[in-house]
Amino acid sequence: MGIEGPSGSVTKGRRRVSEVDPVGAGDGPGTVETPGSVVEVRTSASASLIPTIRAVASDLAARADFDLDAISDLRMAVDEACATLVDVAAPGSALRCTFDVREELIRVHAEVDTGDAATPVSTDTFGWRVLQTLADQVELEANGSGIVGIRLHKRADAAPR
């Protein structure tokens, strides 16, 4: 899927369910039957590259006919998730962000290697509360191996606030 490309590369390909299900966990059977487009962005885990990632998020949502509020929410949610992860990433490591574009839904998974299994990511922050408000679903993943991820879902029609 091209994720081993150089820093900052963007690859796009048709989803192959048998091969990869990067953001499908947690959903019931049946959802994988609708193949969507998967876009993976891999950058150095640097805050200076987050504008590029949120621009990709915004572009994908616009092309998927998300309404304007939902585009704005997704862009901000992806920015927040990436900023949270970059903050705990090991020096010189990578930030990997995967967008699974479905009908009426974009699933995002972002992850970094913290280099330390004990690195905490606090969810008791203003930023995390904002993230929970922006996304339809958000989840922090830390499996104790040092890889920390954030998984979020955003529907095409933003709920009125």
Q: Which positions lie near another protein, rule CB under 8 A?
A: 47-48, 50-51, 54-55, 68-69, 72-73, 75-76, 79-80, 83, 126-127, 130-131, 133-134, 161
d(CA 69, CA 157): 8
Nearest CB to another protein, comparing residues 40 and 79: 79
Nearest CB to another protein, comparing residues 36 and 114: 114
Minimum CB–partner distance for residue 20 and another protein (Å):
30
DSSP symbols for 130-147: HHHHHSSEEEEEE-SSSE
Please name the residue that has the structure tokens 């029609």. Answer: 157
Nearest CB to another protein, comparing residues 3 and 55: 55
d(CA 132, CA 46): 23
Please name the residue that has the structure tokens 């585009």. Answer: 71
Query: 124: which residues sit within 8 A by CB, 6+ positions away?
Result: none
Minimum CB–partner distance for residue 38 and another protein (Å):
25
d(CA 157, CA 71): 9
Nearest CB to another protein, comparing residues 44 and 72: 72
CB 88 within 8 A of CB 47: no
d(CA 160, CA 148): 31
H helix intervals, 7-96 = 50-63, 68-88
Nearest CB to another protein, comparing residues 72 and 119: 72
Minimum CB–partner distance for residue 56 and another protein (Å):
12
